[in-house]
Amino acid sequence: MANIVVAGTQWGDEGKGKIVDLLAENADAVVRFQGGNNAGHTMVVNGEQFVSHLIPSGILQKKICIIGNGLVVDPKVLIEEINYLKQKNITITPKNFIISDRAQVIMPYHKLIDTGREKLKGDKKIGTTGRGIGPCYEDKAARTGIRFAEFIKETVFSEKLKTVLVEKNFYIEKFLKLNPSTLEEILAEYKEYAKILAPYVADASTAINKLIKNKGQILLEGAQGTHLDIDHGTYPYVTSSNTVAGGACAGAGIGPKRIDEVIGIVKAYTTRVGEGPFPAELFDKTGAFIQKKGMEFGATTGRKRRCGWLDLVILNNAVKLNGLTGLAITKLDVLGELKSLMICTGYKYKNSIIKDFPADCKILEKCEPIYEEMPGWNEDISLIDRYENLPQNTKDYLKRIEELSETPVYIISIGPQRDKTIVLNNPFLNIPA
């Protein structure tokens, strides 16, 4: 029996969806523990593409899928996603899909505040996804948020909304100078959503712990990445939740001793969407090549992702913060045609060399990457199905990542499809019961 956390090591978009989908085959349940529909997973199964923003990617493997208490959920988006998956003949019932009664509901005013504030900030904007994530987490911390347990009880919901809306609409009208929705408008829309979602709402923590007690295997799926973490990321250019593996316990309602392995997803290069410092960013034709070949567009907003070389300062920070036990290297095939590859092993800042990720974004902005050069393999590796058959230079690149991060590579992904994966170690199969 094993419980595994999957965490992004960079700035999100590392390809967690595919790896979660793959590992889910041997899991009993897949749980999301933070974020909301700012995330986007693209999976390709039997030539068909699936995109999900809220429902854990394990749904394709017919596993129990759980939205943990740590999430902020836009009910409209969730209903659209349920319908989209049902249309693709995927079964979603209260037996295989649970929404935590403690998860927070994203309201129309959260979205309005998110986009309105970004507009006001001008070139100081964070570059949020505009989905209302930050304002919803703010209300959670301010204890004015609406949880699913309240949302599905019509009178409780309308009473709470009535109180909260006074302050929200004052802020929206007077400060953001926007038109807020009225109580009646929101109630009419959200009452319908509550009716549809109510059957799925349950005590997720109890359900997860019961599964663990009965020797079930749980896969805990992180969203975004370590460097978008509210505490440990490139603050303030971060999301509003704890994306690191530690967040899995609070966001799913399980104890830390329940977690056996933490797999870090590492894109073979680095990408970032939105604003914020990115020392190994490429502004040349190699960056443009990676962006195009890797099809680096955000799955949620469609924005072009900024691209750069693999950064070991970042990865080592993720190893430390998440306690990574293994790595899954994704999109390795994208680097195929490059003659040489660079790995960032440290930063030069003024007259010093930095190896530990700095807290101050102003310092990070001025850091210059120190590179180690490695030969590329100049070959299409997407058709290779065994580690032994990879070109020597590819193996050397992987070995170097292992050496520098002091963490073993468990999984290598060489294409978007489920079968384009080389699995060296699957902890679900290797941890004794």
232 flagged as catalytic = no
> CB-wise, 273 or 343, nearer to ligand IMP?
273
Pattern 388-407, ligand IMP, x by CB under 6 A: --------------------
Residue from 4, 24, 64, 126 touching ligand IMP (CB under 6 A): that is 126
Q: Does 228 bind ligand IMP (CB under 6 A)?
A: yes
Smallest gap from Cβ 299 to ligand IMP, in A, equals 7
Minimal CB distance residue for ligand IMP: 274
Q: Does 208 bind ligand IMP (CB under 6 A)?
A: no
How far is it, in rounded angstroms, from Cα 31 to Cα 225?
16
Tell whether omega for the bond before 375 is within 30 degrees of 0, i.e. cis: no
> CB-wise, 134 or 279, nearer to ligand IMP?
134
> CB-wise, 239 or 286, nearer to ligand IMP?
239
Task: For residue 123, give Cα distances in angstroms to 119, 178, 286, 399.
Answer: 9, 20, 27, 41
Residue from 110, 131, 227, 420 touching ligand IMP (CB under 6 A): that is 131
Q: Taking the CA atoms of the chain, what radius of gyration do you get in angstroms?
A: 22
Which parts of 88-203 fold into alpha helices (H)? Answer: 108-121, 133-142, 148-151, 154-170, 183-197
User: Which tokens sit at 131?
Assistant: 């989905």
Pattern 346-365, ligand IMP, x by CB under 6 A: --------------------
> CB-wise, 239 or 325, nearer to ligand IMP?
239
Residue 365 contacts by C-beta under 8 Å, 6 or more apart in sequence?
277
Stretch that binds ligand IMP, among 10-18, 251-259, 358-366, 410-418 (CB under 6 A): 10-18
Q: Does 4 bind ligand IMP (CB under 6 A)?
A: no
Burial of 359 (0-12, 13-18, 19+ CB in 10 A): exposed
How far is it, in rounded angstroms, from Cα 106 to Cα 78?
11
How far is it, in rounded angstroms, from Cα 281 to Cα 279?
6
Phi/psi of residue 40, nearest 5 degrees: -155, 125
How far is it, in rounded angstroms, from Cα 242 to Cα 145?
18
3-state class (DSSP) for residue 117: helix
Q: Does 56 bind ligand IMP (CB under 6 A)?
A: no
User: Which tokens sit at 96?
Assistant: 């295989």
Q: Does 99 bind ligand IMP (CB under 6 A)?
A: no
Smallest gap from Cβ 52 to ligand IMP, in A, equals 12
Residue from 34, 169, 240, 322 touching ligand IMP (CB under 6 A): that is 240
> CB-wise, 181 or 241, nearer to ligand IMP?
241
Residue from 3, 128, 181, 209 touching ligand IMP (CB under 6 A): that is 128
Among 13, 28, 101, 311, which one carries the catalytic annotation? Answer: 13
The CB density around residue 394, as the number of other CB atoms within 10 Å, is: 23
Burial of 234 (0-12, 13-18, 19+ CB in 10 A): buried
Among 21, 28, 41, 227, which one carries the catalytic annotation? Answer: 41
**Beta strands per DSSP E along 279-408:** 306-308, 310-311, 326-330, 340-349, 352-354, 368-375
Pattern 134-163, ligand IMP, x by CB under 6 A: x-----------------------------
Task: For residue 237, give Cα distances in angstroms to 15, 128, 272, 299, 362.
Answer: 21, 9, 11, 19, 12
Q: Does 133 bind ligand IMP (CB under 6 A)?
A: yes
Stretch that binds ligand IMP, among 71-79, 237-245, 288-296, 336-344 (CB under 6 A): 237-245
Residue among 17, 8, 89 at smallest CA distance from 58: 17
How many of the chain's residues bind ligand IMP (CB under 6 A)? Answer: 21
How far is it, in rounded angstroms, from Cα 361 to Cα 344?
18
3-state class (DSSP) for residue 286: helix
Residue from 9, 10, 12, 269 touching ligand IMP (CB under 6 A): that is 12
Stretch that binds ligand IMP, among 11-19, 76-84, 210-218, 382-390 (CB under 6 A): 11-19
Pattern 33-52, ligand IMP, x by CB under 6 A: -----xxx------------
Q: Does 273 bind ligand IMP (CB under 6 A)?
A: yes
Q: Does 224 bind ligand IMP (CB under 6 A)?
A: yes
Smallest gap from Cβ 109 to ligand IMP, in A, equals 15
Q: Does 230 bind ligand IMP (CB under 6 A)?
A: no
41 flagged as catalytic = yes
User: Which tokens sit at 391?
Assistant: 């070109």
Q: Which residues carry out catalysis?
A: 13, 41
Q: Interface residues with ligand IMP (CB under 6 A)?
A: 11-13, 38-40, 126-129, 131, 133-134, 223-224, 228, 237, 239-240, 273-274
